[in-house]
């Protein structure tokens, strides 16, 4: 039987996190069909995720575990505001200005930002192997999302900047998460980050609660459980184990592969040769 060291166990947890994140589009789509807005969807994901984490904390660790040292608490604020709150807003604005495909492609600039930040903050080496894996990963993600069709791209400078901003915010989640993961319980990090994310979205995005109905609330609850609470319960222990933060977004890039397969199996979306080539390239980049 194959034995994994702690670091590889961490990457495996990040991989399964990426699989869970791959279901995000499914929940967003179903909530939109139920009448939800992007702002309300984002808020419910974070707010209901917070409630779930608080319940787990009460039963497993007690509310005293919410007490953190100043440094870890500050990192939780960064994760909540930057990596969840601002990320959600930037990504939504990127979709509005340039469409889903372009927004998705720009979001997968995240591994580049993570690699640069890991070099500056954790002194991780940017090796030729990492660069090769990053390039392959970006190419694979682009092919998975676009199927090689760039004709219908409607590029808007403001949308491009929002998309790159979303990629930066997503990329920083691995850096901030790794900084906090070894100093606090995963559920506590998640709870505080969800709190600050929900607060940020409530203040700046101003979700419209008048459109809330039972179906939106039910799907929102499942959204908060599967690609939110369950995902981050795996993600933070994974970050605590990994040796290289720069590799995390590449391993988590199984997300668009999962999303593409969900589109094929549930929504009967067609995948061409370029899409499948992209899936293969993403998997190869993860292995590298």
Q: Please, which residues have CB within 8 angstroms of residue 1's CB and are 6 or more apart in sequence?
A: none
Look up the pTM and report it. Answer: 0.90
Dist CA 202 CA 37 (whole Å): 13
CB 50 within 8 A of CB 198: yes
Residue 2: its pLDDT value, please?
A: 55
Dist CA 205 CA 259 (whole Å): 26
Tokens matching residue 261: 């397969």
How many helices and strands (H and E) does the chain possess? 15, 0
Residues with pLDDT less than 70, the chain? 1-3, 152-154
Sign of CA dihedral 74, 76, 82, 86: negative
Count of residues in the chain: 288
CB 245 within 8 A of CB 174: yes
Q: What is the pLDDT of residues 61-106, one digit of tens each?
A: 998 999 999 999 999 999 999 999 999 888 888 877 877 777 777 8
Q: Please, which residues have CB within 8 angstroms of residue 13's CB and are 6 or more apart in sequence?
A: 234, 235, 237, 238, 241
Residue 224: its pLDDT value, please?
A: 96
Dist CA 10 CA 84 (whole Å): 22
Q: Where are the domains of the chain?
A: 14-287
Residue 102: its pLDDT value, please?
A: 76
Q: What is the pLDDT of residues 139-155, one digit of tens each?
A: 999 899 888 877 766 67
């Amino acid at each position: 039987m194959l034995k994994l060291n702690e670091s590889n166990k961490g990457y495996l947890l990040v991989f399964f996190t990426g699989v869970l994140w791959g279901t995000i589009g499914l929940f967003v789509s179903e909530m939109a069909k139920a009448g939800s807005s992007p702002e309300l969807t984002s808020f419910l994901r974070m707010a209901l995720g917070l409630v779930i984490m608080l319940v787990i904390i009460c039963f497993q660790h007690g509310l005293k575990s919410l007490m953190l040292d100043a440094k870890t608490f500050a990192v939780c604020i960064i994760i909540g505001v930057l990596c969840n709150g601002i990320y959600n807003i930037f990504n939504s604005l990127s979709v509005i200005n340039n469409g889903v495909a372009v927004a998705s492609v720009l979001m997968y600039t995240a591994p580049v930002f993570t690699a640069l930040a890991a070099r500056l903050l954790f002194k991780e080496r940017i090796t030729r192997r990492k660069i090769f894996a990053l390039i392959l990963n970006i190419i694979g993600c682009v092919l998975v999302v676009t199927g090689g069709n760039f004709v219908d791209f409607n590029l808007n400078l403001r949308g491009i900047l929002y998309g790159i901003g979303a990629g930066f915010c997503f990329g920083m989640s691995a850096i901030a998460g790794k900084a906090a993961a070894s100093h606090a319980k995963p559920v506590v990090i998640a709870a505080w980050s969800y709190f600050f994310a929900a607060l940020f979205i409530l203040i700046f995005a101003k979700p419209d609660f008048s459109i809330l109905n039972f179906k939106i609330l039910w799907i929102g609850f499942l959204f908060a459980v599967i690609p939110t609470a369950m995902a981050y319960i795996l993600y933070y222990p994974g970050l605590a184990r990994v040796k290289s933060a720069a590799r995390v977004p590449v391993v988590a890039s199984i997300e668009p592969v999962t999303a593409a397969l969900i589109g094929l199996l549930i929504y009967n979306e067609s995948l061409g040769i370029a899409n499948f080539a992209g899936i293969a390239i993403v998997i190869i980049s993860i292995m590298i």
